[in-house]
Structure 1
């Protein structure tokens, strides 16, 4: 069964408002036979007359009144939908889906979101906590628009990655351990460790740092939530290696932060799909670019 056309419903509404087929034809810029055909098609679909002519005036029947109420709402909803889409095309509104790690979300993303709130308040950024590989998969499958990923990564077909930030990786150690001014692999490998799990790029970078010194320590626990890791460090449960992201925040006095020797860095990139993008996505990318080092 064919769907009822909004054009037919619009014709019915205009005829009812003007009380004339001829006036409706002029307003809609349609030929009079076309106007009559629209009404005939609607009446054939509902199986009853929708309009009646009394003393030269066209009026809706009772059934026509029922259809007119629904028609006006459908036409208003359709216009509202088009207006919402137009605003999104113009970049006034929009939804941008972004994937990132907990560290980037906690320490870097808020600055970009604050800038967006001021300059583009109609843009809604929906953030998902994901590993870099999961974020890239989301981009390729169309479930994400932007991803903040640890480098290096294989972008895959249809995705491009641009280097973004290079943050130092620091040692976070219980203060009672009295760590040296610069922490070495040899010193850290002798102690209990709390590290990211092996599925993350950070874990691989840290393993290479230890491996270059011929060391392969086993962590006491693997955890991917940086704030939880720091809490465990403060409790004396172990030491960790984490990126220093964004501004240097005040630490729990029970935790000491030390640079590494040799130095170690965590590199981040911004990933997005190749090709034309919505203006809202471009505005989010521009805000993130403002945090580029």
Structure 2
């Protein structure tokens, strides 16, 4: 015996109806079964909850006190059940999404629009973070999902679902000797001072790894955090840049993009989540729309080069 939910609801029904017959009809129970539940509850509590007469039943003083508390408990329980059902049916809820800047700008606006149209009752909270911070945000439970490059193998607690590859391209000033070529090798680009992102960003790490594998020295002239600042320095011929396609603005002025010949310099981007944990219905629905939208990025071409091959599809910064 114990404080089962059925016994508690039976107690409230008898208190409301003032007799066992109507309470039994309300609950869909036989009158003997209902009477047995009340006796078991009283035995467990060690007090009489009702004063019984031949015509009706009245709450005892202990029953009055117990009823006030139990009504609140049952109301809280019913509210919690309704809230979870609403979330499961995507009538309410919250999903927190972290994204690197290039993915946030290229992919998230369309995803947010589509998600809001399909699930207007669910709130979405977006954090624009660099790739390293995204990993700690996921691990700490601050974000349900993330859009970012593939994490390092040491991040064993983070699961990665690949969505696309994002090829790197060279950027040179309009008057640079390489500007009229349309493409250049990585070796040709890094012979010049390089303007790139700061250390511990996925862009810098991908570039450094590509140079190491090719046996090339990487001379960094300027290390910055903002992509548009990198482009501006390249426009002034203060160096060349090697950036992911999706980090480039839609319009490039005073700079020329170059496809990189030879072994590809690229990074894989996708959906990140905590490994081994079930995501909420809202997060699963958001991820589904991300997958639907990711393919559209694959058709993006290099700014100013209509004949450029399709870019990978997603990025992060």
Task: Identify whether the pair has TM-score above 0.5, normalized to the shorter chain.
Answer: yes
Aligned 1:110-259 pairs, distance under 5 A? 110-132=109-131, 135=134, 145-151=144-150, 153-154=152-153, 161-171=160-170, 180-181=179-180, 182=182, 186=188, 190-191=192-193, 193-197=195-199, 199-211=200-212, 212=214, 214-223=216-225, 225-226=226-227, 240-245=241-246, 249-250=250-251, 256=255, 258-259=257-258
Change (3 A) 1:97 1:123: same
Q: Is 2:91 aligned against 1:60?
A: no
Unaligned segments of structure 2, at least 5 residues: 299-317
Q: Hey, what does 2:36 align to over in structure 1?
A: 33
- Residues in 1 aligned to 2:198 and 2:167: alpha-carbon distance in whole angstroms: 16
179-188 or 65-74, which deviates more: 179-188
Deviation at 1:17, TM superposition (A): 0.9
Where 1:245 maps in the other structure, the secondary structure is helix
Q: Hey, what does 1:82 align to over in structure 2?
A: 81
CA contact (8 A) 1:173 1:179 kept: yes
CA contact (8 A) 1:149 1:271 kept: yes
50-59 or 116-125, which deviates more: 50-59
CA contact (8 A) 1:21 1:35 kept: no
CA RMSD, 1 decimal: 4.3
Change (3 A) 1:5 1:228: farther
Where 1:180 maps in the other structure, the secondary structure is coil
Aligned residues: 283
Deviation at 1:18, TM superposition (A): 0.6
- Residues in 2 aligned to 1:281 and 1:101: alpha-carbon distance in whole angstroms: 18
Give CA-to-partner distance per residue, 1:190-233, whole Å, 9 cap, x none.
44624232x2332122124545373321343343x545656777
CA contact (8 A) 2:167 2:267 kept: yes
Where 1:56 maps in the other structure, the secondary structure is coil
Deviation at 1:14, TM superposition (A): 0.8
- Residues in 2 aligned to 1:140 and 1:101: alpha-carbon distance in whole angstroms: 16
- Residues in 1 aligned to 2:12 and 2:116: alpha-carbon distance in whole angstroms: 41
Q: Hey, what does 2:305 align to over in structure 1?
A: none
- Residues in 1 aligned to 2:53 and 2:238: alpha-carbon distance in whole angstroms: 90
Scaled by the length of structure 1, the TM-score of the pair is 0.71
Unaligned segments of structure 1, at least 5 residues: none
- Residues in 2 aligned to 1:84 and 1:204: alpha-carbon distance in whole angstroms: 44
Deviation at 1:148, TM superposition (A): 2.7
Change (3 A) 1:152 1:32: closer
Change (3 A) 1:206 1:249: same
